[in-house]
Chain A
Amino acid sequence: MQLALTEDQALLARTANEFITAGEPLARLRKLRDGRDERGYALDRLARMAELGWTGISFSEADGGLGMGLAEVVLVTEAMGRGLAPEPYIPSIVLAGRAVALGGSAQHKEAWLQPAIAGQKVLALAHSRRRGRFDLTRAPVRATRVDGGFQLSGEATQVWGGHLADAYVIAARTTGDDGDRGGIALFVVPAGTPGLTAVRQHRIDSLNVAQLVLDGAVVGDDAELAAGGDGLGLLSRVIDEATVALTGEMLGGMTEALERTLGYLRERRQFGVPIGSFQALKHRAARLYIELELSRSVVMAAARAVDAQSADAAQLVSIAKAKLSDAYCLVANEAVQLHGGIGMTDEHDIGLFLKRARASEMTFGDASYHRARYAELGGY
């Protein structure tokens, strides 16, 4: 495993950064938020990312992709994190898209995956319920056998990219109870299916998330991904991949938050000197820089380990998410503090990073969850 970018990867990183930072990304986010934009992101930006080839990165060429992996995906998400881009690249492509690619039939792929890669349709994956924390065995929906298919009932929460999505991958329990590893299935359910309602939820980070209510929605047997197989295994796998993509985004966000803070420390004057000349603040900034460097290494390593399907890939995913959760929140908290009074205003942009840091921490497992998972995987 080489922890260095190839020339092609460096080029991709540059292109992604240029695309994201062109045209005041944070002003765009504010406009979507303050205008209470129903979608919360721009469909044409998602389509543009598709044109650039980024939506196809992690899919096989047979599925219409580029046959690359997470090592490349994290370069795109890192750029997105720098600009707090709200487009549902991770939920539609890395999460739901990969679930369809790995477990879907030719019909599923034609109906949902290809249009998603083309940036014409948006997919979302529903796997959590209120008070479920991060336990994937606590599926949000119950699936009951009916003639020729299943009837789905329940409520999934904070479905990322789920408002105005075109189709949903829904984790449902067919048999057994919370805590059981068996008895979980994934169903592809198109929007507009009777008995399915998506309601926009509003979070601190203004991202598009939805509450998905299923009230006896009926799906056919052919809606199940990896039918009869290990539904939880498939769900865990795509969530691990999306987790790595998210750590890339978090890395971009913390890099940007730290750079903005360093700029402020150099410019802001008090007592007749730049506040960045004070040793107490210098040392805090240097500590944040160390956290950033450690974070970058583990994101690169986790992406490469999952791509190579290394034996310790799942452990590295947990290290990466635990580290980035702690480090991004630390950097964001410190960024607000070091900005002083202006840092706590809505007017200043630094607070947007604080909000995104927390929401990212709470997506796909926080640091405590991943440390416990790491210990389980290590057998202690």
Chain B
Amino acid sequence: MTDVESFRAELVEFFERELPGQIGELPPATADYWGGRRPELPHPSSQRYCEVMAERGLTAPTWPREYGGGGLDKECAKIVTAELRRLGLPVPLVGFGMSMIGPTLLQFGTDEQKREHLPKIALGEIRWAQGYSEPNAGSDLASLAASARIAGDEITINGQKIWTSYADKADWMFGIFRTDTGGKKQEGITFLLLDMAQPGVEVRPIKLISGASPFCETFFTDARARTRDIIHGVGNGWTVAKALLGHERTMIGDLFGAGGRGRPATAGNLLVEVARDYIGEREPGGRIGDPVLRDRVTQFTMEERCFALTMQRSADAARAGHKPGPESSIFKIYGTELNQRRHELILALRGPQSVGWEGEGFDPRELAQTRDWLRSRGNTIEGGTSEIQLNIIAKHVLALPD
């Protein structure tokens, strides 16, 4: 038996025998667990599942062991993902610690910083928020104004961040702050980490048009941080911030990409079912009654397939050893737009049943989908607007002049 095969065998043994023995009923594949000091439990055993997995380094399989990871190579890490999926088990821990600040610390952090923060991320002890945008620094992020004044080992922070996802549930924040107001605006920015459980930090959720509040405003009034939590040095924060945005775009692309976690593979058929349900058909099992909507369903289904194939082509190229091509830059734009178009099309298919807000006369699926449509309007704004992404393609892929 090769090393890889025996690794898989051991892993399966652990998943199938030890794991249920230690925690009983396992959470379903859809149960996302975000961890943190005040964890929300999508399933009664979510936290215990995360802890047991973390003990074996399986929350962050590729991170080094000394930082709480599994120390696995890519091949073994892929086996972990594949076996989880095969057995219908959830990824043990999700969140911005795993997907954004973790990889960024591995890239830019000192050994001391990695030792302090990475194990707490991998164990699910600390949940992170992202402090980037400000009311006057959205697409023009580098013009941010929230200030960090350094005196000795102490940093004093004042100002405001906005669109901080789930800040009301987070324990620590990674963010960018202005340490110098002279010179080029990118050069006076410092990337640092701070504990949010302190009097100088106030978080207010923002209610969106969907009625949900996934984003917050975060206010800093003489909030404190430590200089040892500055990443990559004072004034070098812009480099770190951009690298982290790369990790973020990858995450969003995965989320919206067809075949990704956010999308059932049979989305096309689902649209046909909705169409049949609300419009009727010429004869049972026959054509959708409205030829224009039938054509729109087809048009959308085709575009979705073309996008899924492009994601696959990118993955196949990566597996063949090619560096991720420029085609990956289109995933954020097109994936989010497809999600919006999909929701718009379902509204069209449901007709008047698509504009209910709450209460009688609308079934729960209709109400949920309407909220999802409203939420989807933000997809092309958050994580870098589509317009900014188009700028990136024009500059870095098409070599058009500034």
Contact = CB atoms under 8 A, between A and B. Distances in A.
Interface of A: 2-4, 262, 265-266, 273-274, 276-277, 279, 281-283, 285-287, 289-290, 293-298, 300-301, 316, 318-319, 322-323, 368, 371-372, 374-375, 378-380
Given A294-B307, A380-B275, A283 B398 contact: no
B295 A368 contact: yes
A301 B309 contact: yes
B338 to A, nearest CB: 11
Given A368-B295, A372-B295, A374-B302, A285 B398 contact: yes
A266 B394 CA distance: 11
B313 interface: yes
Contacts of A295: 306
Contacts of B40: none
Nearest to B304: A319
B394 A286 contact: yes
A49 B322 CA distance: 31
B401 A274 contact: yes
Interface string B296-315: 01110111011101101100
Given A289-B393, A371-B295, A380 B330 contact: no
A3 B306 contact: no
A319 B302 contact: yes
A296 B399 contact: no
B394 A283 contact: yes
Contacts of B263: none
A266 B387 CA distance: 20
B400 A276 contact: yes
Nearest to A376: B287
Interface in B366-402: 387, 390-391, 393-395, 397-402
Contacts, number: 118
B201 interface: no
A290 B309 contact: no
Interface residues of B, number: 45
Given A286-B390, A298-B309, A319-B305, 15 more contacts: A4-B313, A4-B322, A274-B401, A281-B400, A285-B394, A285-B398, A286-B394, A286-B397, A293-B327, A294-B306, A294-B310, A297-B313, A300-B313, A368-B295, A375-B297
B306 A298 contact: yes
28 contacts: A2-B316, A3-B312, A3-B316, A262-B400, A266-B400, A276-B401, A282-B391, A282-B398, A283-B387, A285-B394, A286-B398, A289-B393, A290-B330, A294-B303, A294-B310, A296-B313, A297-B309, A298-B305, A316-B305, A319-B305, A371-B295, A374-B298, A374-B301, A375-B287, A375-B288, A375-B295, A380-B272, A380-B286
B264 interface: no
Interface string B316-330: 110110100001001
Nearest to B305: A319
A297 B310 contact: yes
Contacts of B390: 282-283, 286-287
A290 to B, nearest CB: 5
B313 A3 contact: yes
Contact of B288 (A293, A319, A380): A380
A158 to B, nearest CB: 26
Contacts of B48: none
Given A380-B272, A380-B276, A277 B298 contact: no
Interface in B304-360: 305-307, 309-310, 312-313, 316-317, 319-320, 322, 327, 330, 333-334
Contacts of B334: 290, 294
Interface string B253-288: 000000000000000100010011000010001111
B114 interface: no
Contacts of A371: 295, 298-299, 302
A225 B294 CA distance: 37
Contact of A282 (B299, B301, B313, B394): B394
B100 to A, nearest CB: 25
Contacts of A262: 398-400
Contacts of A297: 306, 309-310, 312-313
Contacts of A293: 310, 327, 330
